[in-house]
Amino acid sequence: MDLCFPLLFGSIELIYFSTVLLKVMEGGWIPLVFATFFLTVMYIWHYGSVLKFQSEVREKISMDFMIELGSKLGTVRVQGTFQKISVDFIIELGSKLGTVAKVGLDMVDGEKKATLEAKWMKLQVAQLEAYARRTDFVAEQAKLLLKYYKSEDK
């Protein structure tokens, strides 16, 4: 099956090439010149692409080297910024979801409503506890950063 494509198109090309060779004296040399030109251009293009790929692989910088280099450049990562943004996003998302949940609770009556309200209250408490832990963690990181900046060992 793998040989079907080369055999089919190779036989077509051989038939075309043989007819062009029979007509060389009557102007059949023109398609041969064009074919040779385009074949040469495609070969040079392919060869250049291979050289470019080999060069990129050879000159690739390892991630370990980049990490090592980063610490020598004097760049300082600001701790806690992403965490603050994510905490703010979670709080805002929670308030919007809370609005949706409260509207949904108003549509339910009886014992089912009491059960859902109890679950909702547990979720609210868990979310506030997580927020408090995150806030404490960010404050702890800020204290460490202040201590670092105030120290002489920068």
What is the overall mean pLDDT for the chain?
78
Confidence category of residue 60, pLDDT binned at 50, 70, 90 = confident
User: What is residue 111's predicted lDDT score, i.e. its pLDDT?
Assistant: 80
In the predicted structure, residue 133 carries a pLDDT above the cut 60: yes
- State mean pLDDT over 120-128: 81
16 and 51 both lie in a single domain: yes
- State mean pLDDT over 111-137: 82
100 and 51 both lie in a single domain: no
- What does the DSSP assignment read for 29-76? HHHHHHHHHHHHHHHHHHHHHHHHHHHHHHTPPPHHHHHHHHHHTT--
Cβ(24)–Cβ(32) under 8 Å? yes
103 and 45 both lie in a single domain: no
User: Domain total for the chain?
Assistant: 2
Q: Does the residue 65 lie in any domain? A: no
Query: What range does the domain containing 42 cover?
Result: 4-60
- What does the DSSP assignment read for 69-117? HHHHTT--PPTTHHHHHHHHHHHHHHHHHHHHHHHHHHT--THHHHHHH
User: What is residue 67's predicted lDDT score, i.e. its pLDDT?
Assistant: 67
User: What is residue 120's predicted lDDT score, i.e. its pLDDT?
Assistant: 77
Phi/psi at 110 (5° precision): 75, -145
Q: Does the residue 66 lie in any domain? A: no
Q: Which residue has the higher pLDDT, 99 or 14?
A: 14
Confidence category of residue 138, pLDDT binned at 50, 70, 90 = confident
DSSP class of residue 77 equals P
Q: Does the residue 133 lie in any domain? A: yes
In the numeric block, the tokens 């990490």 are attached to: 67
52 and 88 both lie in a single domain: no
Q: Does the residue 67 lie in any domain? A: no
Phi/psi at 148 (5° precision): -65, -45
Q: Does the residue 33 lie in any domain? A: yes
User: What is residue 154's predicted lDDT score, i.e. its pLDDT?
Assistant: 54
User: What is residue 99's predicted lDDT score, i.e. its pLDDT?
Assistant: 63
User: What is residue 51's predicted lDDT score, i.e. its pLDDT?
Assistant: 94
140 and 103 both lie in a single domain: yes
What span, in angstroms and rounded, lies between the C-alpha atoms of 101 and 105?
6
CA distances from 151 to 46, 72, 122, 137, 142 (A): 58, 19, 44, 21, 14
* Entry pTM: 0.36
In the predicted structure, residue 87 carries a pLDDT above the cut 90: no
Q: Does the residue 68 lie in any domain? A: no
Phi/psi at 75 (5° precision): -80, 140
